[in-house]
Structure 1
Amino acid sequence: MSKGKVYLIGAGPGDVGLITVKGMEAIRKAEVILYDRLANPKLLEFAVPGCELIYCGKLPHRHILRQEAITDLLVSNALTGKTVIRLKGGDPGVFGRVGEEAEALAQHGIEFEIVPGISSGIAAPLYAGIPVTHRKYGESFAVVTAHDKSLDGKPLLDWPGLASGVDTIAFYMGIANLPFICENLIKNGKPSDTAVILIQWGTFGRQKTLQGTLATIAVQATAVSFSNPAITLVGNIVSLREKISWFEKKPLFGRQILLARTGTNQSELAKELSDQGADVIEFPKWNKVPAPIDMHILKNLDAYCRILFTSPESITDFFTVLFEAGIDIRSLKAELFGASVKSAKALNEKGFLADTAEKMRPDGRLLLVGDNHLQEQQLAYASSKYGRFDLYITSHKKIDEQFLPIFERMLEEAAVDTVIFPSSLSVKILMQEGINANFIPRELLDRASIVCMGKQTLQAAAEHEIKPKAVLANPTKAALLEHLINSKWG
């Protein structure tokens, strides 16, 4: 058996968009991914279905996998011929122990590549409005570990050199040793009024900062229970923050959203919310397989006067089936409709003059197109709404159970303040797979701001005794963004 290949990849500091193109390409072809706590779990959604995901995360005093075990997994999986990804937060060469892992791979004759990433020591300050160098404030910059392998964990550093020879210093994971760091810098010549900023979860929407000086920051951090993961930036360059802070000015910065998910495609809504500064957790993650082709229906498409698509994905899947079956779309004589504004728009983008289901006339033979959730959960509603119809199932979806522990960790580290239900089905799914399965606490729905997109979604929420804060009469992405930007939470 030929050996596989290992990619040692820097995932960047948190913002999914900050991973390199090369890193993303490797994720898309991986068979096994070993990932750290600080690598954004959303990156794992770009892996192919069936890719094995192994959590290597480390918390203070609670290691999931020791370094030796991680290295052994890299070697053993590569020796079976698999493409293996080691996904590390930030840059793998900056306190990422990539040298140890690469050395072990080389010893076993395993091919590997090291893919650099954006280091959090540079990115987190930039997202806080602080470049780490500036001709006026700082022409030298150092990255320093804030703990080491000693019994007390206090780093043995060149304190005189750091205090007098470096303008700006980024300490990684330095909260526990903050008093020790400040004391030694002051003792070795750094002015006690030197500016300091702590940046927690840098580049995430939940990014938090705390600003002070070498004389005050340790007490300030204790008072507010500031914790890792964090970068401690020391230097007068911190003063630039007042002029060029940009990320924290985004309209949804700080908002942490749980978006109920019914589709397998990448969500445009989730991306737009993230672009506006929010942290977005999409639940759940789905796997999809094509349904058997129903040639009886396909050969008689000209018999239908109306075709109603229940989701954008069902549209793509349906026309893919037509092409693969050798059926010309010009054989369609029916008027086409989408069950939502989003579905109607997807039809329009394919060149069809389509409208929403509300505009559909009640006469003429109807074909309903959707996935297996339509078959299982919505037929009774469809019968009462549209009368008799034929049904075409495009695909079968099921929860990707491998992602459940990933979501659990995401929810533990987030403080969700907003829950968005885009559709009535999304309410049922979140209740069934999240709340009723004791995976998501019911209290979350009681304390968060609930937003229902449309009247049908409101009705589904009421059936589960969910009380929304807002119901959008116009269930569009633009209307949702306007509501969230203009509303308060917390």
Structure 2
Amino acid sequence: MANSNKGKVVLVGAGPGDIGLLTLNGKQWLEKADVILYDHLVNPDILRFTQKSTEVIYVGKKAGVASMEQEEINQLLISKAREGKTVVRLKGGDPFLFGRGGEEIQAVQKAGIPFVIVPGVTSVTGVAAYAGIPLTHRNLSSTLSIITGSNEKKQGDIHIDWEKIAARSGTLVFLMGARKLPLIVEKLLRFGKNPDTPIAVVQWGTTARQKTWVGTLGTIVEISAQDKILPPALTIIGEVVNLRPVTEWYEHLPLFGKTVVVTRKGDQAESMIDRLRELGAEPFFFPVIETIAPDDWSPMDNALNNLSQYQGLIFTSVNGVRFFAERLKVIDQDIRELKGLRVFTIGPKTAEAVRDLGIRVDVVPENFVAESLIESMKNIEGQRFLLARAAVAREILPEQLRKMGAIVDVVPAYQTILPDTPADELAKRLTAGSIDVITFTSSSTVTNFLALTGEKLLPAIKKAKIACIGPVTEKTAQVAGLNVDIVPEQYTVSSLIDAIEAYFHH
């Protein structure tokens, strides 16, 4: 995407943590970016919206320790933009609210670089909403004060006018104040704030790791010391905190607090990720399969140019349908060539993909496995079938159909390869015991997942619950040494998520 024209810097607010709170405008810029510089509190899952070729650079700060100084970040933004690139500066929350966004844009503007600013959902409103605390309320609070709780100068005090802050009657929100909580409370009490004033501290807000502590100015320091509340945390002070028992919702969702690894390939994972988020889970996207064209198209082309010799066409996956349809276009054919062919599919999603092409599906077996399709195919002796599938797959379907007297031409429509998905973050989470469920939607997802994670992580993997889409995938997992905890009655992704919900609900 980079060109000889002057590049630009796009300052994007990533929101407070939940990937669903990224704005549409922010997502569009991520999809177009040549370079991305992102901070510590940005949900790394957001980076899946980038192109494969995008250069991704971490410039975050954790526990006050910067991986790169601010001046270096400014210079990097400028130098990358001067290469003619679209540079996205991705910041947690909103970049203009205690995010140093103003400083960075000043530097970019001074260098004569064009810039765009994309606001984000600030943690102030996002975290409060997910904690079930309205920041204003007609009967309780008509003012809102947003205050930084951190101190860049590494001195003990925070440079604010405590007397004026303590005198305010509305809601006070402190960002980045977990480590300074005793100081904040001590100052507010010293300048006259009532010790019975309600207070809430929300850690990891808007994520499945969210935890909320509620107390008063008189009790919260003891609570914090006892439970060792660490950053990132947002502190809300005021009468609106008392509304939480009525308005809290997020922490009551059925899969709240559960982190679920999604191993499906990128373009097929979105609906699964969205559904898990709706149920309160944190989807951890770890794609273990990439589908590409077969090494040789000639078997497929030969079959497509001679479709009249077939009585039936069999699809076993959505990928098979997609690559088949794309190849039909490439060789200048269309769906009219399928006239008179009976179409057989495994699974409702595969059938849906065929119908989306305007083609009628004749047979979808009751159970979504090859064995069930075989049972539903009667009186096929002497008939010829085209099976468009992955280059490597189970042989039970063509073998059984041939035993029943059919002629089966198996042609590769695509092949699956191991993507270069980095496993570092997953390894950290597995080792820390913060992965609750690992989902597998095919045998190849099991094999590839274990290949990408390696033997060292196997003990940690075994501590998570294993959820498989059906008995074939379950058997592959068991052969690999995994204990399978969850298998749905219907072999669909939707049923798999239902089964995960039921497992934890009961």
Could you tell me the TM-score, scaled by structure 2's length?
0.88
Question: Are the equivalent residues in 2 in contact too, given 1:141–1:166 (CA < 8 A)?
Answer: no
* Partner of residue 190, structure 1: 193
Please state how far the C-alpha of 1:208 moved relative to its aligned partner.
1.1
**Distance between the aligned counterparts of 1:334 and 1:124, measured in 2?**
55
* Partner of residue 12, structure 2: 9
Please state how far the C-alpha of 1:136 moved relative to its aligned partner.
1.2
Please state how far the C-alpha of 1:397 moved relative to its aligned partner.
4.4
* Partner of residue 325, structure 2: 319
1:302 aligns with 2:302: no
Give 3-state SS (helix, strand or coil) of 1:149's partner: coil
* Partner of residue 399, structure 1: 419
**Distance between the aligned counterparts of 2:401 and 2:40, measured in 1?**
48
Percent of residue pairs bearing the same amino acid type: 34
Q: Which amino acid aligns with 1:399?
A: P
> Equivalent residues in 2 for 1:15-414 (5 A)?
15-152=18-155, 154-262=157-265, 264-284=267-287, 289-291=292-294, 293-294=297-298, 295-332=301-338, 333-351=340-358, 352-353=360-361, 354-356=363-365, 357=370, 358-360=372-374, 361=377, 364-370=383-389, 374-376=390-392, 378=393, 389-394=409-414, 397-401=417-421, 403-405=422-424, 407=426
1:44-91 deviation digits (Å, cap 9, x = unpaired): 112222111112222115432222222222111110101111111100
Question: Are the equivalent residues in 2 in contact too, given 1:264–1:287 (CA < 8 A)?
Answer: no
**Distance between the aligned counterparts of 1:37 and 1:142, measured in 2?**
25
1:423 aligns with 2:439: no
**Distance between the aligned counterparts of 1:75 and 1:300, measured in 2?**
58
Question: Are the equivalent residues in 1 in contact too, given 2:391–2:415 (CA < 8 A)?
Answer: no
Change (3 A) 1:287 1:46: farther
Could you tell me the TM-score, scaled by structure 1's length?
0.91
Question: Are the equivalent residues in 1 in contact too, given 2:430–2:461 (CA < 8 A)?
Answer: no
1:474 to 474, 480, 490: 490
1:90-117 deviation digits (Å, cap 9, x = unpaired): 0000111111211111122110011111
Please state how far the C-alpha of 1:398 moved relative to its aligned partner.
4.3
Q: Which amino acid aligns with 1:162?
A: I
Q: Which has the larger radius of gyration?
A: 2
Structure 2: runs of 5 or more not aligned: 403-407
Let me know the Cα RMSD of the aligned residues: 2.5
1:433 aligns with 2:442: no
**Distance between the aligned counterparts of 2:221 and 2:399, measured in 1?**
64
Instruction: Count the aligned residue pairs.
Output: 482
Change (3 A) 1:101 1:382: farther
Please state how far the C-alpha of 1:27 moved relative to its aligned partner.
1.2
Please state how far the C-alpha of 1:7 moved relative to its aligned partner.
0.6
1:285-328 deviation digits (Å, cap 9, x = unpaired): 66555456433232123333343334323322321221232212
Give 3-state SS (helix, strand or coil) of 1:344's partner: helix
Question: Are the equivalent residues in 1 in contact too, given 2:423–2:453 (CA < 8 A)?
Answer: no
Of 180-189 and 301-310, more deviation after overlay is shown by 301-310
Question: Are the equivalent residues in 2 in contact too, given 1:9–1:115 (CA < 8 A)?
Answer: yes
Question: Are the equivalent residues in 2 in contact too, given 1:262–1:425 (CA < 8 A)?
Answer: no
Q: Which amino acid aligns with 1:337?
A: F
Change (3 A) 1:89 1:274: same
Change (3 A) 1:273 1:423: same
Structure 1: runs of 5 or more not aligned: none
**Distance between the aligned counterparts of 2:238 and 2:459, measured in 1?**
43
Of 145-154 and 1-10, more deviation after overlay is shown by 145-154
Of 467-476 and 232-241, more deviation after overlay is shown by 467-476
Q: Which amino acid aligns with 1:324?
A: V
> Equivalent residues in 2 for 1:437-452 (5 A)?
438=456, 441-452=457-468
Question: Are the equivalent residues in 2 in contact too, given 1:262–1:426 (CA < 8 A)?
Answer: no
**Distance between the aligned counterparts of 2:449 and 2:129, measured in 1?**
36
Please state how far the C-alpha of 1:335 moved relative to its aligned partner.
3.0
1:390-412 deviation digits (Å, cap 9, x = unpaired): 222336644144x5445556667
**Distance between the aligned counterparts of 2:80 and 2:248, measured in 1?**
44
Give 3-state SS (helix, strand or coil) of 1:267's partner: helix
1:483 aligns with 2:499: yes
Q: Which amino acid aligns with 2:323?
A: D
1:204-244 deviation digits (Å, cap 9, x = unpaired): 12211111111111221221222111111111110111111
**Distance between the aligned counterparts of 1:23 and 1:215, measured in 2?**
41
Give 3-state SS (helix, strand or coil) of 1:355's partner: coil
Of 311-320 and 80-89, more deviation after overlay is shown by 311-320
Question: Are the equivalent residues in 1 in contact too, given 2:289–2:448 (CA < 8 A)?
Answer: no
Question: Are the equivalent residues in 2 in contact too, given 1:263–1:313 (CA < 8 A)?
Answer: no
Stretches of 4+ aligned residues off by more than 4 angstroms:
285-293, 379-388, 395-398, 403-414
